[in-house]
Amino acid sequence: MAEDKELVCADCGKTFVFTAGEQEFYASRGLTNEPRRCPDDRQARKQRRGGEGGGRTGTREMYPAVCANCGNETQVPFRPTGIRPVYCSDCFSQIRS
């Protein structure tokens, strides 16, 4: 069984405890590296990146567009440049399959 470890945060330099339970959790997910940041700095980094899940769960900026296939107004998660056609989700699904 793993024992608690004291690690030094790469951002703030403070020591933090990497508990035996956290070590087991990391191992169960196939993660082999120890955390480099303390929990406070990990949380702050996630928030700067836009959410809890590394930027994937935060709100995403959406941009208005007109579907090149059906002509309906839609919202897309990228800024349309006009170089490539933009499709609504229904048309995109049809074209993709």
Residue-level pLDDT, tens digit, the chain, 97 residues: 679 999 999 999 999 999 999 999 999 999 999 999 999 999 988 888 765 554 455 577 889 999 999 999 999 988 999 899 999 999 999 988 8
Looking at residue 60, what is its pLDDT?
79
55 in a structural domain: no
69 in a structural domain: yes
Q: How far apart (Å, rounded) are the C-alpha atoms in residues 61 and 77?
A: 6
Judgement on whether residues 40 and 68 belong to the same structural domain of the protein: no
Judgement on whether residues 67 and 44 belong to the same structural domain of the protein: no
- Residue 16: which domain range? 5-48
How many structural domains comprise the chain? Answer: 2
Tell me, what amino acid is at 72? N
72 in a structural domain: yes
Looking at residue 58, what is its pLDDT?
59
Burial-class residue 44 by CB neighbours within 10 Å (0-12, 13-18, 19+). middle
42 in a structural domain: yes
